[in-house]
Structure 1
Amino acid sequence: MSPRNSVLEASRTRQRIVDRGLALASVDGLEGLTIGRLATELGMSKAGVLGHFGTKEGLQLAVVDAAAEMFARAVPQRARGVPPGLAHLSALCEAWVSYLEQELLPGGCFFTAVAAEFDDRGGPVRDAIAGLDSLWRRDLSIHIRRAVTVGDLPADTDPDQLVYELIGIMLALNHSLQLHRDKQAPERARRAVRRLLEAH
Structure 2
Amino acid sequence: METDGRRLRGNRTRASVLDAVVSLASVEGLDGLSLSRLAAQLDITKSALFTHWRGKEELQLAALEHARAQWVAEIVAPALEQPTPVQRLWAVHERRLDFYAREMLPGRCFFSIVYREFDDRPGAIRDRLVEQSAQWHEFLVSTIEEAIAAGQLREGTDANRLAYEIDALGEGAVSRVRMLDPEFVFAAARAAVLQRLRAASTNPDLLPEH
TM range (shorter): over 0.9
Q: TM-score, normalised by structure 2?
A: 0.90
1:81 positional shift: 2.6
1:142 positional shift: 0.6
1:181 positional shift: 5.0
Instruction: State the match for 1:40 in structure 2.
Output: 40
1:35/1:50 contact within 8 Å kept: no
Instruction: State the match for 2:116 in structure 1.
Output: 116
1:78 positional shift: 0.8
1:113 positional shift: 0.9
Matched residue type, 2:191: R
Instruction: State the match for 1:180 in structure 2.
Output: 180
Uncovered stretches (5+) of structure 2, i.e. residues with no partner: 201-210
2 CA distance for matches of 1:110 and 1:38?
17
1 CA distance for matches of 2:6 and 2:59?
21
Matched residue type, 2:198: E
The SS at the match of 2:52 is coil
CA RMSD of aligned residues (A): 1.5
2 CA distance for matches of 1:47 and 1:181?
44
1:178 positional shift: 3.3
Q: TM-score, normalised by structure 1?
A: 0.94
Moved >4 Å (runs of 4+): none
Matched residue type, 1:116: R
Instruction: State the match for 2:77 in structure 1.
Output: 77
Evaluate the alpha carbon distance shift between residue 179 and residue 54 of structure 1 in structure 2; reply closer, same or farther with a 3 A threshold: farther
**Aligned pairs for 1:91-110 within 5 A:** 91-110=91-110
Deviation per CA, 1:120-175: give whole Å up to 9, x if none.
11121111111111111101001101111111111111111101111111111101
Name whichever of 85-94 and 112-121 sits farther off.
85-94
Matched residue type, 2:135: L
Deviation per CA, 1:18-44: give whole Å up to 9, x if none.
111111111110112111110111122
Equivalent pairs, count: 200
Q: Does residue 134 of structure 1 match 2:134?
A: yes
Identity over the aligned pairs, expressed in percent?
32
Name whichever of 189-198 and 84-93 sits farther off.
84-93
Instruction: State the match for 1:50 in structure 2.
Output: 50
1:51 positional shift: 2.4
2:101/2:182 contact within 8 Å kept: no
